[in-house]
Structure formats: structure tokens, C-alpha cells
Chain A
Amino acid sequence: MKKIVLGALALTLLSSFVLSAQTAVESGKQLFGDLSARHIGPALMSGRINDMEVHPTNSRVIYTGTAGGGVWKSSDAGTTFTPIFDEYCQSIGAVSLDPNDPDNTIYVGTGETWPRNSVSVGDGLYKSVDGGANWKKLGFEKSERISNVIVNPKNSMEVYVGVLGALWGDSEERGVYKTTDGGTTWEKLLYVNQKTGCADLVMDPNDPNTLYASMWEFRRTGWSFESGGANSALYKSTDGGKTWNKIHKGFPEGKLGRLGVAIAPSNSQVLYTVIEAEKDERKGLYRSNDAGASWEQLNNDFGITVRPFYFSRIVVDPRDENVIVKGGLNGSISRDGGKTFKNLGQMHSDIHDIAFSIKDSDIMYVGTDGGVYRSWDGGTTMEIVENLPLSQFYHISVDDAEPYNVYGGLQDNGSWYGPSSSPGGVQARDWNSVGYGDGFRVLKHPTKNIIYSEMQGAANVWRYDVERNLTKTIQPLATEGDPKLRFNWNPPMAVSAHKPDRFYMGSQFVHRSEDMGDTWEIISPDLTTNDPAKQAQEDSGGLSIDNSGAENHTTVFSIVESPLDENVIWVGTDDGNVQVSQDGGKTWTNTVANIQGLPANTWCYQIEASVFDKGTAYAVFDGHTMNDMNPYAYKTTDFGKTWTNIISDDVVGFARTIQEDYENPDLLFLGTEFGLYITLDGGKEWKKFTNNMPSVAVHAIEMHKATNDLVMGTHGRGVIILDDISPLRELSEEVMGKKVHFFKSQPTEMVESSGFSGSFGGETQFVGQNKTRSAQIKYYLSKRHTFGKMTMEIQDMQGNKIVELGPGKSKGINIVNWAYTRKQPKVAKGKTLSFDGFTSPRVAAGTYKVVMKKGKDIYEHEFDLVYDKKSLLSDADRDLKNATTSKLYDMTQELAYMVYEVDEMLAKADTKSAKKLKTLKETLVITTGDNYVGSAEPQLREKMTALFSKVAASYDKPSSSEMKNLTVVQNRFEKAKADFAKLKKKYKSKEPLAVKSFDEFLDSN
């Protein structure tokens, strides 16, 4: 007996233990539930592509590895693409298929390999053996950039990997690697030094033991770039990588830079290399006709030599050794073996990779800074892939329109704004261009219909009068006595919450204008370190000078005026200062020395001024340009006198941006290189948010105050929005300890806007998801519901059922949408469908309750619906509309019952009665024809439901025309009822009737 009791006790303890184990929340996936991000693009300008890959035997299958937006697969020959790598690092160097198993085995080397200033970083090599459904990391964590992955076409176990390696610092993880066991173990075959990596690797398709590798010495800092050195070289191995020899016969003298290399698939003797050299006249394309034993220079046109670090890809037509294509500003194609070139057809500039279709060399796929293009005529005419939303935002802002607009600037793709929701979804045509060049900050004037935008280095800062379609440039100019103004490539701008016409910009100084940029005043000393060693940009580039302005340094990078006090201004600089003024710019204090644990001169990427207290601010630092990949974020509550670390070990990837919630000071959002993190406790613990949120670099976050939407500018996947984060404000230990917790909700406005969204020709375009307009029932479940019944219904306050809904069952946050409509009326059975009968009328405004049954437990929650605030209807109008709709709803159901009765009687009627019933029925419903052009003449059902649908779907009260039509329908129905009553009296049946009651009929199918 004792044992049994103890056993039972053990079981109780056990089950409570199991319960607590299952209710504990350890990861974001256990917490965020149905809270899911939506993507709105834009895709019309797409984004940077790093690599193109075609399937070796199926011409429908194409892959692209993108610079910041992951891996995408097309199975319709490049018409549309879908993402297959969202959970992992989105910066891609190389995508390769195993030629022996191309349907299933895919390798992805992460880390883009055209290392401009704004490049992201990779985190290793991945492999899928099921066509991209699941991925496994094979190591190379510190590789940062993988340039090539090549599988031996005769042996799947043998794979070569070219690692370009770290851009911003020394690293030993670079060179050429090989596995002979399918990726379990790796051997480093070719390594030069900590500064030189493998920029290109090719295998002779006819002899897998012959390999060519170009090694490149390169380094970038926040203020300079250096391409080339004594260690750059082209190597060849003929023994599967055991030994390597330089193949430089005919090469230019002196140091070399980045080399691209390609072999003609149709002739292994023919090789091409493009060489970055010391002397301009010796740069360009070289060809070998003896498998690399000797080389001859063929061409050094601009298109061949331009920016080697950014463009050095050479691709040879698989069917013709003399047709070669070279990446470049426009891309170049030669049909005479490399002697002469012409540009590829018009498309977005900056061509990084090209792939020929396996079937036909007229078909080409080209990866640019603006997406993937297809050609059907050998590269002359290019058409863009329209569903790759790879846009790379640097910054983001929002306005207070309804729906609000999102503003931002893009890498190499100008500045834009577009709506957060739009009829039919957010489409390409919804986006508006508001700036050229590279775009960065775009800010809406707080009160006027004016937009500020800028391009790199503040070469132009535009003030755009949207209504009049007028622009002027307003960038600060040097005045008498000013030193040279140093603007960052990505220069800071800010507006004020206190003075609508105030506008800030930053060079090494803070510039302030009180008249929207017409008049500028410098309100600070040089706030940077002003280190001359970091100001020699005209010498930057190495063997090829590359002074695009992208390396400008010792500049102000972030400016923010406190929303609580216009005299409190925070400034962060790219060389690591955090300055604050409490007197509107008269005096400044550099507070960075008060931050413990932050390496000196770490780039201050963003300062967020608190909405709760003017002495409180958050500073985010990004050290990646000093080869420091750690996240740094700090909080001060005393104007920077002390700073507290708010990063935990949970955060992966360096951070750029933070957003404070407007209501809960402990709720913070952090954007890192690998996605979005959320803390509920002020930074003690962070949880990664992954619901429809790729591991993409989040460069900017803004919260839209009126909707509580979190709007993210990602650098590779466009604008991503997390709608209404308000449930996160309530998540406490106590709430998470409850079995079920309903979150508070604001009254839902039953929006009445209705318009048109014709979208012909949009079949292959990306369309961004809209924000739902439904009422949302949000609750927390401490455990996933799997066993037993769980139901939900909406009731009015008298307990009448309005509608049944399908409840969410996830552990964590659940969201159930209700379009505030009741069930459709029961419609009379005819020969065809009554499409008007599929109208679900809206309920009246008021308080409703949700009743959720979970096993034996019942949970209730009340919520409010209100009419559209923009509606012009009076209460009396509303009453008339609701009453008329209800009347037609009821009539429709009465008619349905009448037809049911007629049918029942018909089935058992004698011939005479049957004839009369049939004649009656033919006036009640359509009894012939089909649902399309074979449709018959409408009868009472059709006229009644047409009016029902018309009245119910209108935003307006019923018109006098509709009311008169109602009389016609009512009279006809009355007559039908009278006729039916007469028929009933005379009715003679062959057998007794068993007719359902009206209520039974309504409950039946």
C-alpha cells in the first residue's frame, strides 16, 4: 500500500516535473508562436547577386547565391525563384551542386566574395542532401568568405573548397581545402599567408586532378582598401592538389592583384585569366592555349580591367572556347576568343556572375547589383527576374499616414518609399523613387509633405516636395574658414520631434538647419578623433586606385535629438566617439571613455535616445571593420557618465541597431548581422526571432507608434515588418506561468476602405503581404495543445454564437484572426451556385466575447469592435444598414427552407401536385444552366441574394433605390409564400413526408 501511495506521489511529481519542463521557455521558437514577420520587398530593383549556378542535367533548375539575401532556387528556368536557406547566414559566396547527385546534394559556401566596403560576412560551409530542405554545417566557421566549392564529377566524396578568408584582418583559415570523405574531414592544400586567400578555383572538367587556383593578397580597414601584393599568384596542380606550381609565363612584372581564372569546358587547353597588375597597360585579359604553360595578353579595355576586387569573373561558353563573358560595370562579351569585347545588353550595372543554360548558349543568367537577369539572345537583351526581393537597406523610417509608408535608402539602388499595405498586396508599382546613387537615410518632414534623401558622401542631399514634384539639393557647404568637410559615405541626417523644420546633418561636425536645409549652422567642434592616418582615401585601393568615397573615415555617423528635450543631442562617430550635448550644441562631452569593455575606436553605429527619460540612451557599436565580430550595446541613464552592457551570450553576430519599445522600457529589439533579437528584461537575456524572419543582416529598426509595428530595414531581404508587438509587453514570468493568458487588445476598427487592385501581368512579380485588418484574438499557451478537443467561438454578450473559429494550438503566442463577419446565410438549393449568397455580413460594433474550450476548461475574453472612424454614417444610418442586411439574411434563409420543403414535397408528390410545385420552384431558384456563361435567367433567390450582397458589402447605408428594390423582392416573396400555402393545401403525396423543422434545416449541411 505504502508503495502504491509513494508510486502515485512519484507519478504526480513526475508529471509536474514534465509539465514544468515543457512549459519553460528557453528559445524564441517556444515563445513567439504565431507572431510572424511579413515581407513587403521591394523587389523591383532587387539586390546584389554573388553567384549563379545551373543544374548540370535539368535546364529548368537554376540557383543563385546572393550577397545578403540567401540562396534562391528556380525550377522554372529562372522565371521565378524561392528562398531555400532562410535559417542560415544570408551572405553567400558560392552555391555548387554535386554533378553526381545534382537533384539532392547542394553545397553553400557563405560569405560574399566581391568585398566592397558594405559586404557582409559568412560563417562556414553548408551541405544539403535533400535538395535544400535541410542543411548541415560542415565547418569553416572562421572562413568569412568562400569563393568556390567544386565536387569531383567522378567522385562525390571528393570536394575542393576555395576560401578567400577574412577581409578585415589576419586569418589562417584561407586557401584551398579538400575532403575525400564528403566533408567530414578537410585538408588544407594551398596556403600562402594570413593576408592571402583563394579568390578563384577551377577544375579541369576532363581531368578532376587538374586544378587552377588564384591567390589574392588583400585587406580592408574602415578607412582604406588594399588589393594586391607580392603574394598574389596563379597556381596549377595536376595531382589533385598535392603540389602546386605558379604558372606565370607571360604574366606582367611586379605585384599582382586579384586574378580571375576560367577554363574552356570544350577544350581543356584553353584558359583565360584576368589580371590586376601594377602597370595599367599590363592589366587585363590573358589567354593560354597550352593549359597554363604560357600566357598572352589580349585585351585591357575598361570593361575588362575595371575594379578587379569587385568584378573578376570570367565565364566561357560551355560549347565554344572563343565565346567568353567577363563581369564588370556593364559586363562584356567576346566572340573572338578574347581579342575584342562589347558590352552585354542594358541591365542594372555591376555584373558579378554569368551562367549559360546547359541547353542553349543563347540563354544566359546574369547576376548583378540589381538582381538576376535572363537573356534569350546571347546577352543582347536582358530581362529582370521580378520576384527576388533582395533589396539592401541601410536605413529605414516611417511616417504617420494610414497605412503608414516606409522610407529607406538602398545599396546601389537609390532611395525609395512605399506603403506598408496596399490593395492586393505591396507590389512593385507601389514604390516611389526619391533619390539616386546609393541611398541611405530617407526622412519624412514631420508635418509637411516633404521628403529628405541623400546619396553617398552627401554629394547630394535632396529635399523633395512631393505634391509639387520639385527637388532641390540642400547639403551643407563649406563656408569661409571651414576646413574640408568630411562626410561619411553613409552620412547621418536627423529631424526633430520639437521643431518640424529643423534638420541635422553630420560631417566631422554637427550641422543644424532651422529652415529645412536652406541655412546651415555648425553647432559642434570636430567630434571625431580627426586622426590623419585614417584620412588618406585618395591613395586607397592598392594596385587599382579605388577612391569612391566609401572609405571616408573620422566622421559623424549617428545623430539623434532627444524626443523629450530638444537641447539633448547624441552623436556617435565612425571612429568610436559617443558625444552628448545637453545645451543644444553649445558644449559637448565625449562619454566613450566611460564604457567598460569596448575596444577603442569601435564604430558607433547607432544611438537611440530613450522616450522614457532624457538622460537615458542606448549605443550600439559595430567592430567588424576592425575584424571584431562581437556585438556591443550599452545603456546609460545619466547622460553617458556610466554605461551598462546589455548584450548577453545569446546574441550571435555583430550588432548595428537597437529599438526601444514605447511602453515597456525592458522590451528591446536588436538588429545583428544574423537577424533580429528580442529581450523582455532589458538585455539580460535575448531570444532570436525566427518566424518568417531570415537570418538576414538587420541594419535599421523603427517602431511605428500608432500600430506598434516593428519595421526593419534589412540588408538583403528588403523591408520586413513584425505587426503589432504589443503582446510582448505583457509577457512576464507570471503570464508565462499560466496555462492560458489572453492578451489585452485595443478596440479593432472595422476598416471600410474598398478599392481596386487590377494586377494584370503581375504573375511573376513579388507581392508583399499586407497587414491583416481582422480582429485578432491573442493568447499565450504554456504548452502546445495536441490531445483532446479545443474549440473557439465568438459570442455576443448575450451568449449567442456568432461564429466558430479555429484556435491556434502553439506553445507561446497564438493569434486567431476574425474578419468580424457572421456565418453566411443558408441559401436555397438550385441548379447552380448563388455567388452573392457567399456574402458574410459584418457584425455591428460593440463588445464581443471569445469562448475557448480546452478539454474541460473554458476560457473567456472580451474585446471591442468599433466602426471605421472615417465613416460618414450616423447611428441611424448604421441601424438601417444593419436591419436591412439582417432582414435580407433572414429572408434568404426562409427562402432556402421553402425550397427545401418544395423539394421534399416534389420527391413524393403525385403527378398533378408535382407539376404545380415544379412551376412554383422555377420562380424561386435557377433550375437550369451552369455557373458560367450557360447561366439561366435569375429567379427570386438570385434577386434576393444580389440585393443582400449589395447592401451588406456597401460601406454606405441602403440607398432609396435599394430600399425600393427590397420592396419588389419582398412582394415577390410574399406572393410565393401565398402560392406555396395554397399548394400545400391541395398537395397529395404518394407517401408520408418527413420534413425537418426550420432550425433542424439550418443546422444540416
Chain B
Amino acid sequence: MKTVKLLVAMFALAIMVPVQAQTADEIVSSYLENIGGVEKLKALEGLKITAKLNQMGMELPLEIYQMKDGRTTTIISVQGMTIKDQTFDGETYWGSNQMTMQPEKKDAETTENYKLNLNDFPDAFIDYKEKGYTVELIGTETFDGAETFKVKLTKEPHTIDGKEVQDDTFYYFDTENFVPIAMTMEVKSGPGKGMVQKITYSDYQEVDGLYFAFSWTIGAEGQPQSAPLTIESIELNPTADDSLFAFPETATESKN
């Protein structure tokens, strides 16, 4: 009899989970807990992500470093050469010119907007209240055929083409396990302006007690399916010399 009750209770629980009212805060807490816990996440000093992008027969190997202090770089290998993009050394945000393959600084607005995200490692949701961010549960939505909670994250306003605008991102947390399976945001500048950028996440796997999505598909709503970024390995707390990120001084000098 007792076990019958248990069964009933467990069934009830199973049914309750997807339909139960959740607050955005509860969803975010469950998410951080499920991927390893805030303590462990906060203890992270950096990540080294080794990945590749397969597109139109081209295989682009990538190495991405993300450090707690905001230093980051993406190293792309092409025909045996390496090109750095989206690199920040603590001061300068820079990339490489496709023609000269030489380093060039990103424009001031892009740099300032990047600096706003320095406190988001390894996850923007950690201490979101302390950072002045807000989260809001928009509702449930079917995404990739799965039921999700759609949560809006509002960060500090950023500046787009000279005007300050609100910075909203929408996350779609799987109702079953509270990990985000997608993220959407409006493209606010450049050729895709007005379109909605969509990143879907899958292949969550554990690395030393933390869970990461090992497959990211970056595309836009209404556009044909794009190829995913496939992560081969993630190294926690990698050694990363300053020279990895530093904007080469000679680059500016030689141009002056």
C-alpha cells in the first residue's frame, strides 16, 4: 500500500514538473545547480575550448580561451596558419584583417560593449541580481520540439551605432532538466540588423563535475539551418600566457 502511494506520488511529481509554475529565479537556480553548482562555477579560472566548424566542406579548427578576468581569444587555423579574432587582453579588443591577416583593433563601441560582459564568466546568470541584471519568465514555448521555459535576461544597456539600447537575451530552458537548449537575441547592427540570432545547444557533457554544451548551432530565425560548432574538448583552468591575448604593439607602430 505504501509503495502504491509512493508510485502515485512519483507519478504526480513527474506530471507536476513540466506544468508547475516556476519563477525565473527558480529556473536559473535549478540550471546553475544542475550544471555543477555556483561554487564550482565561481571557482573556475578559465576555459580552453577546442572545437571545429564544418561548413561547405571546409573544416575550421578553433581554439577558444575564456578567462575569468575577461581575457579571451579565438584562434582559427586556416591552411596551417593561425588567425586570432575576438581577442581581449584586458585593455584592447582586437581581431585580424582578412586581407593582411594582421591584427587590428575593434571599433570603440564594440570594445565598450565587450567590456560590459567582463563580469559574465563563466555564465551570465551567476549573481545576476548583484550585477544589476534582471530575469523574467516569459512563458513556456516549444523549441526544437521540446518544451522549454523562455526566460529573458536583461543586462546593462549597450550602445549600438551611437545610441544606447537595452540588452535583452532570451534563453530556452528545457523543462525536464533546466539546461538551456537555445538562446535568441535581436541582431542590432550590421547586415543582419533586425533579424533574430538563434544559437541552439546540445550534446551536454560533463567535464570534471561541470556540464557544458558540446554542440552549438549558430544561425538566424527564418534562415536555412547552419552547421554546428562541434566541441572536441574543454579544459578547465588552462595555462594561458598573457602573450596569447596581447595586442601586438608592433602592429600599430608599423602602421603609424
Tell me if A838 is interfacial: C-beta within 8 Å of chain B: yes
Give chain A residues whose Cβ lies under 8 Å from the Cβ of B188.
75
A17 touches B11 (CB 8 A): yes
Stretch binding the partner chain, chosen from B39-47, B95-103, B104-112, B243-251: B95-103
A808 touches B79 (CB 8 A): no
Tell me if B14 is interfacial: C-beta within 8 Å of chain A: yes
A interface SS class = loop
Chain B 148-171 interface 0/1 with A at a Cβ cutoff of 8 Å (1 = within): 001010000000000101101010
B101 touches A931 (CB 8 A): yes
- How far, in angstroms, from A13 to B54 measured CA to CA in the complex? 40
Q: If the complex has contacts A17-B14, A131-B166, are A840 and B58 also in contact, measured as CB distance less than 8 A?
A: yes
- How far, in angstroms, from A1005 to B81 measured CA to CA in the complex? 9
- How far, in angstroms, from A60 to B61 measured CA to CA in the complex? 40
- How far, in angstroms, from A697 to B6 measured CA to CA in the complex? 51
- Which residues of B182-199 are within 8 A (CB) of A? 186, 188, 193-195
Tell me if A822 is interfacial: C-beta within 8 Å of chain B: yes
Stretch binding the partner chain, chosen from B65-73, B85-93, B125-133, B138-146: B138-146
Tell me if A80 is interfacial: C-beta within 8 Å of chain B: yes
Minimum distance in angstroms from A877 CB to a CB of chain B = 23
Tell me if A815 is interfacial: C-beta within 8 Å of chain B: yes
- How far, in angstroms, from A15 to B28 measured CA to CA in the complex? 24
Minimum distance in angstroms from B10 CB to a CB of chain A = 5
B99 touches A931 (CB 8 A): yes
Contact of A786 among B98, B138, B177, B195 (CB under 8 A): B177
| Closest residue of B by beta carbon distance from A60 | B163
B56 touches A821 (CB 8 A): yes
Stretch binding the partner chain, chosen from A195-203, A452-460, A825-833: A825-833
B3 touches A3 (CB 8 A): yes
| Closest residue of A by beta carbon distance from B181 | A786
Chain B 1-24 interface 0/1 with A at a Cβ cutoff of 8 Å (1 = within): 001001100110011001000000
- How far, in angstroms, from A837 to B81 measured CA to CA in the complex? 13
Tell me if A380 is interfacial: C-beta within 8 Å of chain B: no
Give chain B residues whose Cβ lies under 8 Å from the Cβ of A206.
none
Tell me if A235 is interfacial: C-beta within 8 Å of chain B: no
A827 touches B194 (CB 8 A): no
| Closest residue of B by beta carbon distance from A841 | B57
B81 touches A833 (CB 8 A): yes
Tell me if A6 is interfacial: C-beta within 8 Å of chain B: yes
Minimum distance in angstroms from B31 CB to a CB of chain A = 13
Stretch binding the partner chain, chosen from A27-35, A555-563, A908-916: A27-35
Contact of A837 among B7, B77, B79, B230 (CB under 8 A): B79
- Which residues of A51-81 are within 8 A (CB) of B? 58, 60, 73-76, 80-81
A786 touches B222 (CB 8 A): no
Give chain A residues whose Cβ lies under 8 Å from the Cβ of B59.
804, 823-824
| Closest residue of B by beta carbon distance from A839 | B57
Tell me if B94 is interfacial: C-beta within 8 Å of chain A: no
Give chain A residues whose Cβ lies under 8 Å from the Cβ of B15.
21
Give chain B residues whose Cβ lies under 8 Å from the Cβ of A785.
202-203
Minimum distance in angstroms from B182 CB to a CB of chain A = 10
Tell me if A552 is interfacial: C-beta within 8 Å of chain B: no
Q: If the complex has contacts A809-B200, A811-B145, are A823 and B225 also in contact, measured as CB distance less than 8 A?
A: no
Tell me if A593 is interfacial: C-beta within 8 Å of chain B: no
Tell me if B121 is interfacial: C-beta within 8 Å of chain A: no
Tell me if B64 is interfacial: C-beta within 8 Å of chain A: no
| Closest residue of A by beta carbon distance from B54 | A804
Minimum distance in angstroms from B11 CB to a CB of chain A = 7
Q: If the complex has contacts A130-B152, A806-B230, A838-B58, are A14 and B11 also in contact, measured as CB distance less than 8 A?
A: yes
Give chain A residues whose Cβ lies under 8 Å from the Cβ of B119.
none
- Which residues of A735-789 are within 8 A (CB) of B? 769, 772, 781, 783-789
Give chain B residues whose Cβ lies under 8 Å from the Cβ of A788.
203-205
- How many residues belonging to B are interface residues under a CB distance threshold of 8 Å? 63
Give chain B residues whose Cβ lies under 8 Å from the Cβ of A7.
3, 6
Most buried by B among A34, A133, A823, A830: A133
Tell me if B217 is interfacial: C-beta within 8 Å of chain A: yes
B144 touches A810 (CB 8 A): yes
Tell me if A501 is interfacial: C-beta within 8 Å of chain B: no
Tell me if A134 is interfacial: C-beta within 8 Å of chain B: yes
Contact of A789 among B7, B79, B181, B205 (CB under 8 A): B205
Contact of B100 among A692, A789, A840, A931 (CB under 8 A): A931
| Closest residue of A by beta carbon distance from B2 | A3
- Which residues of A489-507 are within 8 A (CB) of B? none
Tell me if A817 is interfacial: C-beta within 8 Å of chain B: yes
Give chain A residues whose Cβ lies under 8 Å from the Cβ of B221.
692
- How far, in angstroms, from A789 to B207 measured CA to CA in the complex? 13
Q: If the complex has contacts A805-B54, A806-B215, are A815 and B146 also in contact, measured as CB distance less than 8 A?
A: no
- Which residues of A908-938 are within 8 A (CB) of B? 930-932, 934
Tell me if A185 is interfacial: C-beta within 8 Å of chain B: no
Give chain B residues whose Cβ lies under 8 Å from the Cβ of A22.
146, 176
Minimum distance in angstroms from B184 CB to a CB of chain A = 8
Minimum distance in angstroms from A880 CB to a CB of chain B = 22
B58 touches A824 (CB 8 A): yes
- How many residues belonging to A are interface residues under a CB distance threshold of 8 Å? 83
Most buried by B among A76, A789, A931, A1005: A1005
B204 touches A133 (CB 8 A): no
Q: If the complex has contacts A7-B6, A58-B163, A76-B193, are A134 and B138 also in contact, measured as CB distance less than 8 A?
A: yes
- How far, in angstroms, from A344 to B3 measured CA to CA in the complex? 81
Contact of B174 among A27, A58, A130, A786 (CB under 8 A): A786
- How far, in angstroms, from A195 to B176 measured CA to CA in the complex? 51
- Which residues of A126-171 are within 8 A (CB) of B? 130-131, 133-134
Most buried by B among A22, A75, A838, A934: A75
- How far, in angstroms, from A142 to B82 measured CA to CA in the complex? 62
Give chain A residues whose Cβ lies under 8 Å from the Cβ of B7.
6, 10, 13
Minimum distance in angstroms from A30 CB to a CB of chain B = 5
Tell me if B78 is interfacial: C-beta within 8 Å of chain A: yes
Minimum distance in angstroms from B32 CB to a CB of chain A = 17
Minimum distance in angstroms from B71 CB to a CB of chain A = 22
B10 touches A930 (CB 8 A): no
A14 touches B14 (CB 8 A): yes
Minimum distance in angstroms from A96 CB to a CB of chain B = 20
Contact of B146 among A18, A134, A786, A789 (CB under 8 A): A786
Give chain A residues whose Cβ lies under 8 Å from the Cβ of B166.
103-104, 130-131
B165 touches A103 (CB 8 A): yes
Tell me if B227 is interfacial: C-beta within 8 Å of chain A: yes
B99 touches A930 (CB 8 A): yes
Minimum distance in angstroms from A43 CB to a CB of chain B = 15
- How far, in angstroms, from A822 to B176 measured CA to CA in the complex? 38
Tell me if A716 is interfacial: C-beta within 8 Å of chain B: no
Contact of A784 among B145, B150, B163 (CB under 8 A): B145
B194 touches A769 (CB 8 A): no
Most buried by B among A82, A812, A832: A82
B79 touches A786 (CB 8 A): no
| Closest residue of A by beta carbon distance from B185 | A133
Give chain A residues whose Cβ lies under 8 Å from the Cβ of B203.
785-790, 809
Could you write out 29 A-B pairs with CB less than 8 Å apart? A6-B7, A7-B3, A14-B14, A17-B14, A29-B142, A30-B145, A80-B193, A82-B193, A133-B168, A784-B144, A785-B202, A786-B202, A788-B203, A790-B202, A804-B54, A804-B59, A808-B225, A812-B145, A816-B225, A821-B57, A824-B58, A828-B80, A833-B81, A840-B58, A899-B80, A931-B99, A932-B99, A934-B100, A1005-B77
* Residue positions of B touching A, CB distance < 8 A: 3, 6-7, 10-11, 14-15, 18, 54, 56-59, 61, 77-81, 98-101, 138-139, 142, 144-146, 150, 152, 163, 165-166, 168, 170, 174, 176-177, 179, 181, 186, 188, 193-195, 200-205, 214-215, 217, 221-225, 227-228, 230
- Known A-B contacts: A133-B186, A783-B146, A803-B57. Give 18 more (CB < 8 A): A6-B3, A130-B152, A130-B168, A772-B224, A784-B181, A789-B205, A790-B215, A804-B230, A806-B230, A809-B202, A827-B79, A829-B80, A833-B101, A840-B56, A840-B58, A899-B80, A931-B99, A934-B100
Q: Which 3 interchain pairs have the tightest Cβ spacing?
A: A840-B57, A811-B145, A829-B80
